[in-house]
Chains A and B, each alone.
Chain A
Amino acid sequence: MAVVNPKLVSIGVFAGMAAVGSTIVPAMTKKATNKAAKQKLTKATANIDFENMGPEIVRKDKSSEEEE
């Protein structure tokens, strides 16, 4: 019966996990991010008050003008 070297097993498991950690998981999280962001965006956009959009009118900053 073949004896399995535990070190080799550890290396194999580690390499497998590293492959998952660096490729599969990031791709999945990216997809999840896009989906979640889209859902939140849809809700947020529905709350925009387009009818009240307009510029803020502010007084000119006289002190910075004088410095110029």
Chain B
Amino acid sequence: MEFNTEKFAEEALKSIQGNIANLNTLNIIVVGKTGAGKSTLINSVFREDLATEGMGKPVTDHMSKISKEGFPLNIYDTRGFELGRDAQIQVRNEIIETIKEGVKTKDVNKAIHCIWYCVNTATNRIEPEEIDWLREFAKENALTNVPVIVVLTQSFSKKNAQALRQLVLDEKLDVLQVVPVLAKDYEIDEDYIAKAYGLDVLIQVMAEALPDELLSTLLNVQRASLDLKRYYARTAVAAAASAAFGEGFMPIPFADSALIIPTQIAMIGSITAIFGLEVSKSIIVTFASAMLGTSGATVAGRAISSTLLKIIPGAGSVLGGTISGSTAAFVTTTLGEAYILLMEMLWLGEFNATDLETAAGRAQFRELFKERLADRTSKVSDLPEGHSINDVMDLPDNVQIPDSIQSMIDKGMAQAENISVTDLLFDAASKVPGAIESLMGGELPESIKKSKLGKAIEVYKILSAEEDNKNE
């Protein structure tokens, strides 16, 4: 079965576009007095610099809605909170009304998902009427139960931030959490700076409170936490690897292209949506070429397995061409980890998309990518006895097994602590009369001479013979 990197890239792009188009819309209300630093906070946490002059559209007397075409986030910004008790009551009523309207629609895209109540730490206080406001709001929110996070903005002093945090906690308000943040670096004096912090924690606290179906959206729109993006992307890879594991055991020769490759394409779409980066077809083609180790656009089906597997320590040299469940999971995990690495490189600006438009840029990317990939985690599962992994590829020793594969092992998919490539081969061979004998030196049964298993047994025998010759 032919594998075409251009087609792969086209399908991956469709998957990316589909993932982004299907993201639910996240709706957040940000409450606080003028000067609390709401705009800076919004722009530091989310992509697209939403909170700029003129981007808000008034939706009520005291609330404006900040949104951008094609961006799955609406921020409801409150105004006039500092104008006194009456204005604060009106703001509260408008918020409750907006929440209720969202609930009535029964549409997750129209519901209010979280409220940030911002207090400026630099003022060293929270007004009694603000405490009352939060208490009253909690009563009216009892049925709708939208999570409220108190965000202590401009927390450049740890001491003041913690004191204010304790003060708020002592009031035993019905809030999800009190999070001190500093949205931008703060110049303390001519010599020292207080570094921005807390935004990733704010995102993490919010993520835990949101409905499951909004997690992808939050990760897409936020720019505060690369760790969270990576974490969620890895979970997506583990899920795809588990699916590929099952798909790999389909006893049909072209199961890989009908099932496994679409699963991998969907995984790439999912990861790209998490990172929220613009990815062009040329990036994916270059990525696929870097993974395959070839500059050609078309690679034979078995070769993609062989070549990809060579990137996985221990798996490639023997089982080239045979897709079993464990191998499919290995391949999917490696592909996913590699793609996450690509996303991180683009996110951190280590590489620009335009760099990939030249041949020199693409070659540089491949080298850099291979270097970084070699540093990544992957487990050396054992090769045929005596055969060294370093004979197959240049990889450092002492690397760790990916969690996704480990969990499959833990579930008893393999009896031994490590999945042995040899064990996999013998296991497959045990199901075919005469195949085990051929592994021991006998003739290959006619029925499997042209099959993937037959090919794998031939390769195994060649490698074993090489090893025997070396030892003599």
Contact = CB atoms under 8 A, between A and B. Distances in A.
Interface of A: 13-14, 17-18, 20-22, 25-26, 28-38, 40-42, 44-45, 48, 50-51, 53-60
Contacts of B266: 22, 25-26, 29
Given A54-B155, A55-B197, A33 B177 contact: no
Contacts of B269: 26
B252 interface: yes
Nearest to B260: A21
A56 B186 CA distance: 10
B162 A29 contact: no
Nearest to A10: B254
A37 B252 CA distance: 33
B215 A50 contact: no
Given A34-B212, A48-B204, A14 B197 contact: no
12 contacts: A17-B255, A25-B247, A26-B262, A26-B266, A45-B205, A53-B161, A54-B161, A55-B182, A55-B197, A56-B197, A57-B195, A59-B192
Nearest to A54: B158
B205 A33 contact: no
Interface in B185-209: 186-188, 190-198, 201, 204-205, 207-208
B243 A53 contact: no
B250 interface: yes
Contacts of B216: 30, 34
Interface stretch (B45-53, B229-237, B392-400): B229-237
B349 to A, nearest CB: 17
B193 A60 contact: yes
Given A21-B262, A33-B239, 11 more contacts: A25-B262, A26-B15, A29-B236, A29-B242, A33-B232, A35-B212, A54-B155, A54-B159, A54-B162, A56-B195, A60-B191
Nearest to A65: B190
Given A25-B247, A41-B208, A58-B192, A17 B258 contact: yes
Nearest to A15: B258
B240 interface: yes
Contacts of B267: 29
A17 B250 contact: yes
Contacts of A55: 155-156, 158, 182, 186, 194-197
Contacts of B259: 17-18, 20-21, 25
Nearest to B186: A55
B244 to A, nearest CB: 9
A13 B239 contact: no
Interface string B211-231: 011011000000000000001
Interface string B253-282: 011001111110011011000000000000
B165 interface: yes
A29 B263 contact: yes
A5 B84 CA distance: 81
B313 interface: no
B154 to A, nearest CB: 11
A14 B254 contact: yes
A23 to B, nearest CB: 9
B179 interface: yes
Contacts of B263: 21, 25-26, 29
B192 A38 contact: no
B22 to A, nearest CB: 9
A25 B158 contact: no
Contact of B239 (A32, A41, A44, A60): A32
